[in-house]
Each structure stands twice: as structure tokens, then as C-alpha cells.
Amino acid sequence: MTIVVTGATGHLGRHTVEALLDRGVPAGDIVATGRNTDALAALAERGVRTAVADFADPASLKEAFAGADAVLLVSADVPGTRVELHRNAVEAAAATGVQHLVYTSAPNARETELILAPEHKATEEIIEASGVPATILRNGWYTENYLPTVEQARATGQLVASVGEGRVASASRRDYAEAAAVVLTTPGHQGAVYELSGDTAWHFDDLADAIGQVVGRQVEYVRVTPDEQRAALIAHGLDEGTAGFVVALDGDTRKGLLGVVTGDLSRLIGRPTTPLLEGLRAAV
């Protein structure tokens, strides 16, 4: 069985390749892909096959997917470009006869107001229309997304956000990667949609406490309004669009859109998800 992992030069893709190896998949049965195979040298040294796969280059996708039984489509990392890039990958999977396409989507992608969701919703619809047997992994928030926040708090002693009392059910990328590896290597997942999240929906007071333990100083969670946050971000050099995006994400957190605990992730990986403090420590 040949398994292709897209985006293997990134964190989630690389962790998935490592999870597949840990599950006993022969290295020669795994194809790790990315735009630059030089960045895949460490995996190649372990016997993993590598290939160029650029979402903007359909020919490269067809070449990389040729002979694959299963493909993990790790979503593109630049919002605003995803739909056409993902369409290219889905069409390549259909053209090459891929029998199982696994896609990393967003929480409750077809119903949520989450600012990141529309492109994932569109991709899910493209996959459904393609006829390629698929599994949708609606990945929740990654604990590692807060690494910039850790460094800001290390310098200032403050965690500033407009999330109010909102909660986040995050998990580590390795947890999500293990789930992808399970779905790619065990039967019974085609047609399934999994809502993946951490086991605990933590509060930003909890985040401040965890960051404080990681950086070795007291960290205070400072609540601000969306307008105050936007003004501060712009004053620190962010452009209007980026500042608005950050504020919108905090708004989604405030609404509870990232705080839903489903249990799907821990059930798939057969263990509890990585706690917030442990995940931050490992990432830092």
C-alpha cells in the first residue's frame, strides 16, 4: 500500500510521516511530498520516498499521486488561496485513481461562522463532487498556534486578547498527525467526518498560567475589547487586514467556536490528547 503525504515539509505533514513510521508502515511505502524535496532530506535518509508536489502545478500532483492507494491532503497554509489549490489536488487524486483521500479541514466547516471555514467548506464540497472515497478530518486548534503568544508573554509578562471568557479545546499537532495516520492505515474510515479537538476546553487564564510555567515568570491575562486590540496591533506594525484577521479569530474564540470538545481525537489515537502545558513545553 502506497501512502502519499502532502505538505510533508510542514509540521503536520512531517509529524504524520513520523506517525506512519511509528505504526510500522514500511518507509518505502510512504511518499513525502512538498514544493522543495531538499527539505525532505531527513525523511529520505530514513528510506521514505520523496516527490515534488506543488498545489499550483497540477502536473506535479499527478506525478506524485501516481500509484498511490491513499493520499493525505494537508490543507494549504495561505488563507485566500486554498480553494483552487485544493481543487487541483482533488482532481489529481481522481485522475490517478486514488482510493482514499484524507483531508484536513476545519471544525464544523459546513455550518460554523469560523473565519477560516469557508475555504474548507468549499474544499469538502469539491471532494464530495469528485467521487473519490474520502475521510474528512476537521482539525481543531493546534496548541502550537500560541508559540508567538508565548514569546510575547515572555517579554512582557502579559497575554493580551479580546477573547473574553472564550475557551479553546486545543491539542498538539502530533495528536492530529497520529489521527491522520490511524485513518490512513486502518479500515472503516471512508465516508467518515471526524470533528477533532483536545479533551479539555481551557480558558485564557489557564493559558496565561501555562505560559508562565513555560517561561518562568508570572503572566497576566489582560482582557481588551476588539477595537482596543485592533488599534494595538496596528500600532505595533500590523496592516489593517492582518489586524482584522487576528481580531476576528479572537471573536471566534469568544463565541465558543474553538471550544467544543468532541472526544473524536482521543478515540482515534487511543489515548488522551496532549494537555495544554505539556504541549506548550514540547513546542517551545
Tell me whether residue 192 is in a domain. Answer: no
Tell me whether residue 177 is in a domain. Answer: no
* DSSP code of residue 180: H
User: What's the mean per-residue pLDDT of the chain?
Assistant: 97
- Using 50, 70 and 90 to split pLDDT, how confident is the model at 78? confident
Tell me whether residue 103 is in a domain. Answer: yes
If one counts the domains in the chain, the total is: 1
CATH number for position 14 = 3.40.50.720
Tell me whether residue 259 is in a domain. Answer: no
Q: Where are the alpha helices (DSSP H) in 97-239?
A: 117-130, 147-156, 173-185, 204-215, 226-235
Tell me whether residue 264 is in a domain. Answer: no
Tell me whether residue 27 is in a domain. Answer: yes
Tell me whether residue 38 is in a domain. Answer: yes
Supply the range of the domain harboring residue 12: 3-139
Q: How far is CA 20 from the centre of its chain?
A: 17
11-65 pLDDT per residue, tens = 999 999 999 999 999 999 999 999 988 999 999 999 999 999 999 999 999 999 9
Tell me whether residue 90 is in a domain. Answer: yes
Mean pLDDT along residues 125-147: 98
